[in-house]
Amino acid sequence: MVDLSKLLAVSRGDESADLLLKNAKLINVRSAEIYETDVAIYDDRIAAIGAGYQSKETVDLKGLYLAPGFIEGHIHIESSMMRPSEFARAVVPHGTTAVVADPHEIANVLGLDGIRYILESAKDGPLSIFVMLSSCVPATHMETGGAHLTAEDLQPYLNHPWVRGIAELMNYPGVVHGDPDMLAKIEIGKEKRLDGHAPRLSGHGLNAYVAAGVGSDHESTTLEEAHEKLRLGQYVMIREGTTAKNMKALLPLVNRENSRRFMFVSDDRHPDYLTEHGHMDHSIRMAVSMGLDPLTAIQMCTCNTAEWFNLRGIGAVTPGHYADLVVFSDLKQIDVRMVYRGGRLVARDGQLVEGVKTGRVINVRSAMNVAWDKVDFKVRALGRHMRVINVVPNQLVTTQSVEEVKRVGEYAVSDVARDILKMAVIERHMASGSMGIGFVRGFGLKGGALASSVGHDSHNIIVIGTNDNDMAVAARATGRLGGGFVAVSDGEVMAQVPLPIAGLMSDQPLEVVRKQVEDILQVSHQLGVELDNPFMALSFLALPVIPSLKLTDKGLVDVEQFTLVPLFVD
């Protein structure tokens, strides 16, 4: 803890600072202006801004821009497929010094052990990881998860200094209609922050959702939807991730008068996307290229985010705040040169500084328990027509249609000519044998199968394929890995990405994970897949809280009706 008396002495100019950043073009997100000045740092805090300060060490920035460290407002670290220490190594060189994480994915697999894993892994690293407590474990009653967390389970963690509130309330029908479990979680979190997740919710339902105290939302996909949420008082999170890309649709809503009610988030970012495009710096660049004022764009991932989550001491360059800082030369390109966390240089020119610890490595228990003797991909055709999930490229939402069944004998099979593939979700937490089968259109797979243990939100094994044999090979290979991604052709595993940490994250360095992901994406495209990232798209086909038709281990879910529906319609 900083010595306050010495900090004040440095602020007064009576004692020398530890570090002086001279001749900086300060991006003052509080006053919304940019001007040249010096920044004096004592210990891990900003002591003063202005001229006339002495220091033990001086760095002349020679007119480079100096901004607060960037803050990611909503992300699932597990979806990067990297453990927190490697995630930090990936994002800190891009200027991100803090994230607000929802450990929803690992909590659905490991319960409270998963939340503790994220909190413990973040210690001693260059990235501040704040946590929102996962509100929907399991996400719904229409799937089998690895845990069940009640308000009583979560309440003790609300006093943890790195916990900011209750994470995205995905069961928005439950909130709107007063489900006792959801209301209990709202009650324990009402003094902190309640994050939202309400795709397409509007009118009376949205009024009820906001009245419950839900103050933000990251699921808007149209300008009209975001505008309604803004008018009702919510912070609008503009998401630009690996799969869901909403900035183009939503950014025109931002103007000088309302911009402080917006923030940038990514939700999910894969390692190849992080290394190729960046993190919050990429969101800023993209927004600026679309015409947003650079200072406003920087506010949307600094002070705006800090204010909503009540992150005291970060999000602005001001005396008393932590010295979490980003240095760059181009206001539009955000070419990050240096990153400081707590007054210490942690990254330079795209790399962590040698000797910087990235966090703790924590071990977790196995999370792959499948009753393989009960896995059967055959689907007896019980009608001439069936419901089909339709993938919407670059979105989490799906549409649905009714299509004629292709039969081989008495069984329904994949129809490659019409791009209608068989799909299965296999329970992997307690070897119950529960398994749902459906059909999906939009992948373009011409042969083979793809399987993944990342299947939001319960993360059962999800597999699609052109034939049952390849689907079985892919699913079993995923189990042998302890979780991961698998691509199969003609009964042979062509590429794989092992994810042994809860079946969600790799235990390998960033570079290894990226290469594995690149290889499996290349193989997938060779098999005919047309989507940029089929495994990210695949993972959301089992998410029964985003419209309109999804598949869980219990069967097809009509999300808008919030009920299980039969595969065959006649």
Q: Are residues 306 and 382 in the same domain?
A: no
Boundary of a domain, candidates 295, 314, 333? 314
425 within 8 A of 436, measured Cβ to Cβ: yes
pLDDT tens-digit map of 302-338: 999 999 999 999 999 999 999 999 999 999 999 999 9
CA 128/CA 162 separation, integer angstroms? 9
> pTM value?
0.91
Whether residue 194 lies inside any domain: the answer is yes
> What value does the CA radius of gyration of the chain take, rounded to a whole number of Å?
24
Does a structural domain hold residue 228? yes
Residue 30 placed within a domain: no
Same domain, 545 and 479: yes
pLDDT tens sequence across 137-166: 987 889 999 999 999 999 999 999 999 999
Q: Does 19 reside within a domain?
A: no
- pLDDT of 394 reads 75
pLDDT tens sequence across 444-503: 999 999 999 999 889 999 999 999 999 999 999 999 999 999 999 999 999 999 999 999
Sheet holding 163-169, edge to edge: 70-75, 96-101, 128-133, 163-169, 193-196
Give the chain's mean pLDDT. Answer: 95
For the cut 90, the answer to whether the pLDDT of residue 69 exceeds it is yes
Which 8-state DSSP code applies to residue 61?
Answer: -
Q: Over pLDDT 70: what percentage of the chain?
A: 100
Per-residue pLDDT, averaged over 273-279, amounts to 92
536 pLDDT more than 90: no
Q: How many domains does the chain have?
A: 2
Return the CATH number at 296: 3.20.20.140
| Span 82-138, pLDDT tens digits | 999 999 999 999 999 999 999 999 999 999 999 999 999 888 899 999 999 999 998
Considering the domain architecture, whether residues 394 and 269 belong to the same structural domain is answered as no
Question: Tokens for 500?
Answer: 């042994």
For residue 319, what are the contacts with CB-CB under 8 A and spacing of at least 6?
Answer: 11, 45, 46, 47, 48, 49
Q: Using one digit for the tens of pLDDT, what is the confidence trace for 501-522?
A: 999 999 999 999 999 999 999 9
> Is the pLDDT confidence value at 220 over 80?
yes
Query: What is the model's pLDDT at position 459?
Result: 96
CB 232 within 8 A of CB 206: yes
Do 557 and 449 belong together in one domain? yes
Is the distance from CB of 443 to CB of 92 less than 8 angstroms? no
Q: Is the pLDDT of residue 562 over 90?
A: no
Domain range for 135 is 69-314
CA angle 511, 517, 520 (to 5 degrees): 140
Whether the Cβ atoms of residue 459 and residue 453 lie closer than 8 Å to each other: yes
Mean pLDDT over residues 61-76, rounded?
98
pLDDT at 395 over 90: no
Are 292 and 384 found together in one domain?
A: no
Instruction: State pLDDT tens for residues 359-381.
Output: 888 888 878 999 999 999 999 99
Give every CB contact of residue 260 below 8 A, 6+ residues apart in sequence.
299, 303, 304, 307
In the structure, what pLDDT confidence band is assigned to residue 270 with cuts at 50, 70 and 90?
Answer: confident
The answer to which of 66-80, 204-218, 540-554 has the lowest mean pLDDT is 540-554
**Residue 360 covered by a domain:** no
